[in-house]
Structure 1
């Protein structure tokens, strides 16, 4: 079961030291758990943050059920959207806003042209734990509007010698159809000798077709990409050297590629009678949708440098996200100079490269040990473009983003650490540059656009207070600011005005979200409970509206509020625990161009997840462990115009029950997991609430499927 670290307020440490995998984990620290995504060596109970940690045992259990880290996070986090079960994560939000995915603190998101593929950049086999920080914050810089999902890779071996892990896995739908079967094999070997250590591993997975609760193939999203009917390869390496008893040098590298097999084409659904889009054998045009990511990071840490903790990190990340193509008269990539309109096929590919560095130093103030301070600097450079790979054209011109962000953070402990105050400031200095370019024919026949270098800077504040009068009983309140930028690539590619000047006419000022939270936490004896209420506002939110042939960024107020409740109880029966979690979210925006700054309609299902109730029973005793969990997604309506609820945009609600049984043998661990064990038929949340009349993307959820695993460690 998920290890609930704390329910504390949303984002305060807008900075500190980079998130690195070698920080102590829960098993090493007892109750004083160090959460690396919080970018400090202070324990979680010293921070006014809402934090969850999914440990490796729980993560492996959930991945066996759902198949991915995104599925694991969604299943365990009531305020996270139900997943789309696709390669694209568009519409999957945390607390009503998009989270920032990171690996060891390295951002995987491409905000300049958001491709929504950041949840699939490494195989879960190489992840030790997942750290969740809830709510808007700037802990990792740009992109943490809804929070942070930080994937911490496996730690180096503690003892000299050779060790390792092997995983063999098989998967099938409940009908045991030949095309519904899949499998996975993965291995990791580690070595430590004196000051040196090394790890290397590889994972391969083949996924079959998905079947819904009626026994029909789930429809394929040929444009955005699929996890079904796909293959993935993942490589991982980590090499370290202990410079001294307190200092380490680490090099971590990974490569991940997930590629569709291209065996199916879609058959349109009929939304009016809840008949979903399905799939039949066929060969779609072009190259199958693919996701490829390569990362490398070199870090230097010293936990006792002049009495403080020093961390420096430089990193590189490169991604290529290929999307499926189409032939359509109104498709954006048509050009009669190449082929008659309605006959030209093309498909796009996002290309992004990131370089960056993080440096920080944290220690108590000499002579005043109650005050812990952190000073540091983050640097990020991101170059992103979107190409049309069949014809070799540029859709989104190369756009580079440069950020320099110095920061300072303070944490003051009073009355034997029963009362704490935390606060700080981060200064973001951002430059976005686009060279002169020419748009596609679809946009005004193709026009010359003058590039430019928009700049902005923003000072982001945070503060919070934690009261812990007795161990395990806490109350807290906090305020934090996070930021992101509008989808610059989408704006730039759609310019249709000749002589348009990007530098003068496009508003790319940051979207700053203000997050406030109050809550309480009880962790005593057999009870682990928490309650948190939050409200988040963006006075200048971002909505894209096409005006006069160009996408303009309209600033509209956005308000989101929510309640999160969690309870876990260890029962008198040895090894048995019961847990439940509930999340209620409301999102409103100002959709009226009347000059009045007042929210007057609901955010749709692409932003706000349905209210959810999770219940689970977990039993672990000796070599046997069992888990049964049910997610209840509650029905919802949307006020799309003031006072009017559109009957087309509604969510009927559904529930899904999963189960898992594991047994530790003398030669590895055997796991049998089942997703949607009652074979429930349902239309997924995104299909019902975002484009419910779109016949090609009216998808059913996955029906019952089984996974059998053998996991051996040596």
Structure 2
């Protein structure tokens, strides 16, 4: 039986019951509902697709080890690539493609100019759970070619008022590598009114590798080392009979401190990038994110349930300074002497409307109707010289959609279509001097595409189900990279072939078992883009976007077994196999590189509750060796990538007392010395970004409620 969508989770546009998710990532009954997947409320065995939910308790354990959202995704999501341990998410992907990141349904990703800094937009302490929908999807709008990652914020559940103090500290017991964060939360629920507020301050020191060297700071992209920030969050809700109104506001700032300079790697001696005390030039890199939304729900309108969301999101990312060749301009300074830094600004506002009704127009048939609107203005400028690197991209999208579901005994069939109608407006501009200082004519581009999905679930035995699905995702290439790289005179925005949309088609088949002693699931997927995108570095050191076909195939297995009520073990394995072509029309014989694809990944772990109110977790992640594109060249640049895999183990424990909840964690338990997956693998090695991973780090947390 379909459960109604619970009103307290406003801000999200729809709800579904958990599907294809390992139990170890939820610790909730099967009847628990989750948000976003298909914008309707469904039970677990009626969702044709891969849905994973990471619970609040699991997030608390992971954030005790590393206060890093991408590290949590890499641990709990089989197809998510390894974390960079930086503020930049370059090289992080979901099943070899880019996911759409949401906060309570509000888009945080910037697909028009993806600066790979969108992963740091809120304090982890406000997150109640993370919902991940793997595979191409159009249900939440543009950009979800790899799937959807929706961070759900906390909502008061119990009547009364609770004030809580939160504190976390982590260190490797060196003089300059203390991380600390402290926050205060207020949760109130009285009758029809509820409130959740949170404010925090954090400061992060340096980190050391397993050999005792300081880890290098990513001076250009920005870093989580030698940095700090704060967050202010407020959620207000009121129920009025069958209706609910909710307002959510979040302001997050994270910035560097500029206390350390980067020391280049010495590849000949095998020494990774490091840092020494000293102030680098320029202004500190920072993320400044403001998100607001107003949600209205009506549980019984015209025989169905209505959800309306109006939102805005303002995103600013200032990058570190450099005298890179890209920033040079002989008209301003001798080549090699001009120092500058860039800043991305992306402002969005929009609305989402969803209406769901059962038995329309025939018994057993459920219809979901909706309409989405988005206005996105993004651009990138040189912050010190006020030059235009990427002109303002004025993007407007409207998208009506319909989704139908019909159930016949043990079989549920779902299908729908979404019509994406979009327009991109760009004024005339001139590229940077390093690209030739080319005058580019402005113009308008229109995109109109119907993207479809269809799937079925067959419940063929008690506790067993199988699913098959086919879905499409709509996206655009990184318009900013395309436009800033125009180097031929006479070009205009309305004629550039490189701006053709990216349509990704995914097919998946899977089987699931959920019993009293645990759960298991396996799936195989095939994702194709006939006109995909691959970012490559040319001989001049400039990033160019090639429009070539891409194919990603892979399989995932996840399982959890509960030996007793207090002891359980879990495991996930994911293999991703991406291919592309060297150029349009060439054979599909190039493997996707580290920028787009992670290595084979195995995660093993166990949870033990030795006493009531206590929890002990031991987990290990194994990344397999990867050697690709041997002997392949792109002009004078070798495309070979080599990765020597490694295994990392972690341990965390929490226990509840009458004085509050205490936590202890050890990250990199064996103090392994290693170079991270992305810097080790990427074919173009940069001595300023050849980063080692963190050494053994001890952390402690404390939460006290009043």
Query: TM range, normalised to the smaller chain?
Result: over 0.9
SS in 2 for 1:540: coil
Instruction: Assess, with a 3 A threshold, how the Cα gap between structure 1 residues 234 and 546 changes in structure 2: closer, same or farther.
Output: closer
The 5 A counterparts of 1:161-180 are 161-173=160-172, 176-180=173-177
Question: How much has 1:124 moved relative to structure 2?
Answer: 0.8
1:615 to 587, 599, 604: 604
Partner of 1:365: 359
The 5 A counterparts of 1:399-410 are 399-410=393-404
Q: Distance in 1 between matches of 2:309 and 2:660?
A: 36
> Is the contact made by 2:49 and 2:468 (CA closer than 8 Å) also made in structure 1?
no
The 5 A counterparts of 1:90-489 are 90-159=90-159, 161-173=160-172, 176-244=173-241, 246-328=242-324, 330=325, 332-366=326-360, 368-415=362-409, 418-444=410-436, 446-489=437-480
1:602 to 591, 595, 604: 591
Q: Distance in 2 between matches of 1:262 and 1:18?
A: 40
Q: Distance in 1 between matches of 2:539 and 2:684?
A: 28
More displaced 10-residue stretch of structure 1: 28-37 or 276-285: 28-37
Q: Distance in 1 between matches of 2:30 and 2:424?
A: 43
Is 1:639 the equivalent of 2:629?
A: yes
Instruction: Assess, with a 3 A threshold, how the Cα gap between structure 1 residues 529 and 187 changes in structure 2: closer, same or farther.
Output: same
Question: How much has 1:559 moved relative to structure 2?
Answer: 1.1
Partner of 1:6: none
Where in structure 1 are there 5+ consecutive unaligned residues? 1-16
More displaced 10-residue stretch of structure 1: 358-367 or 517-526: 358-367
Is 1:567 the equivalent of 2:559?
A: yes
SS in 2 for 1:75: helix
Q: Distance in 1 between matches of 2:438 and 2:351?
A: 38
More displaced 10-residue stretch of structure 1: 424-433 or 265-274: 265-274
Question: How much has 1:323 moved relative to structure 2?
Answer: 0.2
Where in structure 2 are there 5+ consecutive unaligned residues? 1-8, 19-25
> Is the contact made by 2:36 and 2:105 (CA closer than 8 Å) also made in structure 1?
yes
What is the CA RMSD across the aligned residues, in angstroms? 2.4
1:669 to 655, 661, 669: 661
Question: How much has 1:193 moved relative to structure 2?
Answer: 3.4
Partner of 2:3: none
Deviations 1:424-462 (A, max 9, x none): 001101111101112222222x23221000111111111
Q: Distance in 2 between matches of 1:380 and 1:577?
A: 44
Question: How much has 1:367 moved relative to structure 2?
Answer: 6.8
Question: How much has 1:19 moved relative to structure 2?
Answer: 6.0
Partner of 1:60: 60
Instruction: Assess, with a 3 A threshold, how the Cα gap between structure 1 residues 492 and 351 changes in structure 2: closer, same or farther.
Output: same
SS in 2 for 1:212: coil
Q: Distance in 2 between matches of 1:450 and 1:641?
A: 40
Q: Distance in 2 between matches of 1:469 and 1:224?
A: 50
> Is the contact made by 2:628 and 2:640 (CA closer than 8 Å) also made in structure 1?
no
Instruction: Assess, with a 3 A threshold, how the Cα gap between structure 1 residues 44 and 451 changes in structure 2: closer, same or farther.
Output: farther
Deviations 1:87-142 (A, max 9, x none): 00011011111111110111111111111111110001111110011111112111
> Is the contact made by 1:21 and 1:153 (CA closer than 8 Å) also made in structure 2?
no
More displaced 10-residue stretch of structure 1: 542-551 or 455-464: 542-551
Q: Distance in 2 between matches of 1:609 and 1:272?
A: 26
Q: Distance in 2 between matches of 1:439 and 1:213?
A: 44
Instruction: Assess, with a 3 A threshold, how the Cα gap between structure 1 residues 165 and 20 changes in structure 2: closer, same or farther.
Output: farther
SS in 1 for 2:494: helix
Q: Distance in 1 between matches of 2:535 and 2:206?
A: 35
1:557 to 521, 538, 549: 549
Question: How much has 1:470 moved relative to structure 2?
Answer: 3.5
Q: Distance in 1 between matches of 2:98 and 2:44?
A: 23
Instruction: Assess, with a 3 A threshold, how the Cα gap between structure 1 residues 471 and 273 changes in structure 2: closer, same or farther.
Output: farther
The 5 A counterparts of 1:496-515 are 496-515=487-506
Deviations 1:53-112 (A, max 9, x none): 111111111011121221111112232111110100011011111111110111111111
SS in 2 for 1:695: coil
Instruction: Assess, with a 3 A threshold, how the Cα gap between structure 1 residues 273 and 532 changes in structure 2: closer, same or farther.
Output: farther
Question: How much has 1:157 moved relative to structure 2?
Answer: 4.3
More displaced 10-residue stretch of structure 1: 359-368 or 308-317: 359-368
Instruction: Assess, with a 3 A threshold, how the Cα gap between structure 1 residues 355 and 231 changes in structure 2: closer, same or farther.
Output: same
Q: Distance in 2 between matches of 1:449 and 1:551?
A: 18
> Is the contact made by 2:231 and 2:250 (CA closer than 8 Å) also made in structure 1?
yes
Instruction: Assess, with a 3 A threshold, how the Cα gap between structure 1 residues 401 and 22 changes in structure 2: closer, same or farther.
Output: closer
Q: Distance in 2 between matches of 1:473 and 1:333?
A: 58
Deviations 1:605-648 (A, max 9, x none): 11111001111011124121100000000101112566999796
> Is the contact made by 1:209 and 1:229 (CA closer than 8 Å) also made in structure 2?
yes
Question: How much has 1:338 moved relative to structure 2?
Answer: 2.3
> Is the contact made by 1:130 and 1:149 (CA closer than 8 Å) also made in structure 2?
yes
Count of paired positions? 686
Instruction: Assess, with a 3 A threshold, how the Cα gap between structure 1 residues 180 and 553 changes in structure 2: closer, same or farther.
Output: closer
More displaced 10-residue stretch of structure 1: 422-431 or 299-308: 299-308
Question: How much has 1:191 moved relative to structure 2?
Answer: 2.5
Partner of 1:680: 672
Q: Distance in 1 between matches of 2:32 and 2:466?
A: 18
Question: How much has 1:32 moved relative to structure 2?
Answer: 2.4
SS in 1 for 2:253: strand
> Is the contact made by 2:258 and 2:284 (CA closer than 8 Å) also made in structure 1?
yes
Q: Distance in 2 between matches of 1:636 and 1:28?
A: 34
Instruction: Assess, with a 3 A threshold, how the Cα gap between structure 1 residues 61 and 213 changes in structure 2: closer, same or farther.
Output: same
Question: How much has 1:168 moved relative to structure 2?
Answer: 1.1
SS in 2 for 1:500: coil
> Is the contact made by 1:18 and 1:37 (CA closer than 8 Å) also made in structure 2?
no
Q: Distance in 1 between matches of 2:544 and 2:659?
A: 61
SS in 1 for 2:88: coil
Instruction: Assess, with a 3 A threshold, how the Cα gap between structure 1 residues 524 and 125 changes in structure 2: closer, same or farther.
Output: same
